[in-house]
A and B are shown apart, each in its own frame.
Chain A
Amino acid sequence: MGEILTMALAAVLINNVVLSKFLGVCPFLGVSKNSKSAVGMGLAVIFVIFGASLITYFLYYQVLVKMHIEYMQLITFILVIAAFVQFVEMFIKKYSASLYKNLGIYLPLITTNCVVLYVAQDNITQGYNLIETMTNAIAVPLGFMLVLYLFSCIRERLDSADTPESFKGNPIALVVAGLMALAFSGLTGIV
């Protein structure tokens, strides 16, 4: 149990997927204009990564390994993620209008989010068992959501700040992202 908690804490704070691995930077910059969008995107990412990780985990060990076609791993994961996102979008459209209103616009963006593929690949390359896979599939997107939310709050404050003209928009956002990466690197060693 302690190991699982350590692993989760490390994935959220220390090995943060955005600030230490520089993955998912596109939605990090694109959907962090306001905190409401950031939370919506974060929730959608958590849901998709968890579902896609479980499907790819079972598909890898029950199909690819048994058929001795492990080299099809990458293409399988890409297609599974894309298909899963289509399925989730269709399901939400049909059964929950309110959920679609909140998350629907973010779902197509997640197909191209490299964090989803990273988590699916990481679960296999690290040789995680099912419990570890589930922990990783929750903790990594939770770290993504945390950083996205913090970044969006800072950007909201920056909108009303007296920023030099040439720094407005993406330049100051990238400076802030760099400072956040430095701040998070200070957490190295807590576990």
Chain B
Amino acid sequence: MIKAIIYFIILAVIYGVLYYFNHKTPKPEGCENLRSSCEGCNITSCMAHPNNDRLFKEENKNA
């Protein structure tokens, strides 16, 4: 059980570190406002959902 918990923590930390570095890596020039052509399904929390356009614009304004 202890092995499993330690293993899980290691995996979660690896994911967290990669997420952090990915978030910190600047997007290449000309790719700041890329949007997918997704028309949207019922998963409204998905970043590609058209409902999140407003949030996306605000995020880019702050960046």
> What is the interface of chain A, defined by CB distance below 8 A to chain B?
26-27, 29-31, 33-34, 37, 63, 67, 69, 71-72, 75-76, 79-80, 82-83, 86-87, 89-90, 93-94, 97, 100-101, 104-106, 108-109, 112, 169-170
Contacts and interface: CB of A to CB of B under 8 A. Distances in A.
A173 to B, nearest CB: 9
A30 B40 contact: yes
A86 B18 contact: yes
Interface residues of B, number: 31
Contacts of A83: 11, 14-15, 18-19
Contacts of B14: 79, 83
Interface of B: 3-4, 7-8, 11-12, 14-15, 18-19, 21-22, 25-31, 34-41, 43, 46-48
20 contacts: A30-B48, A31-B37, A63-B7, A69-B4, A69-B7, A75-B8, A83-B19, A86-B21, A87-B18, A90-B22, A93-B25, A93-B26, A94-B25, A97-B31, A101-B31, A104-B31, A105-B34, A105-B36, A108-B48, A112-B43
A82 B19 CA distance: 9
